[in-house]
Amino acid sequence: MDATSNPGSANQASRPLRIGEKAPLFRARSTQGDVSLDQYRGRWLVFFSHPADFTPVCTSEFVTLSRAAARFEALGCALLGLSVDSLYAHVAWIRTIREGFGVDVPFPIVEDASMVIGRAYGMIDDGARDSSGMRATYFIDPEGIIRAIAWYPLTVGRSVDEMLRLVAALQRAASGEAMTPEGWRPGDDLLLPPDQTMPDALKPDASPAWYYKTCKDKVR
């Protein structure tokens, strides 16, 4: 998919993507030159959209994401933003962020003026004329598979701390050897998959919480 052109797929019915599906490939202009999704293979990626440049909620997100960029990098995770605004609007906006907040935006912001990418990802309804309700985040693994999705309304900003926590949790649970409990952070205890059979679970001396086993996180 080339966002600088008008492929026939843009006229096809779109639907929201699902966890476990392969993230649609695309190539598009960005504030750091042409980018393609497959250039991020081999590392984790947080691909997120925002409704519009020069908006207060989006600005708060970009300032915080920029300040936290090194923490994502430490997790081996890249950041990639997107909106339907033009490349020139993106450049003007990040300049005001630098001048107004003393923050340089270190990650690319993709131009999606034709809404081709937004529609391919199901971020934008086929009948929509603009992306005013679009605030979606896709957590994509090194093989290009979507591992988590988060959607927020226009008026509510995302939590960058939660984005970081989720990336770390997805990475820790990727092997399938353990799971992360509520609110897990690196170093906290993990959950083990239940290994008892039903007869074992029904034995008189079996623990009532036979399905709930924890283990220490060896990665610290």
Q: Write out the catalytic residue numbers.
A: 58
Angle separating helix axes 87-101 and 56-67, nearest 10 degrees: 70
Give which of 136, 58, 62, 57 is closest to 103, Cα–Cα. 62
Quickly list H helices, 23-86: 56-67, 69-74
Q: How many CB atoms lie within 10 A of CB 8?
A: 6
At 173, is the secondary structure helix, strand, or coil? helix
How many helices and strands, by DSSP H and E, does the chain display?
A: 6, 9
Specify whether the CB–CB gap between 149 and 19 falls below 8 A: yes
Return the C-alpha torsion angle 156, 161, 162, 168, nearest 10. 150
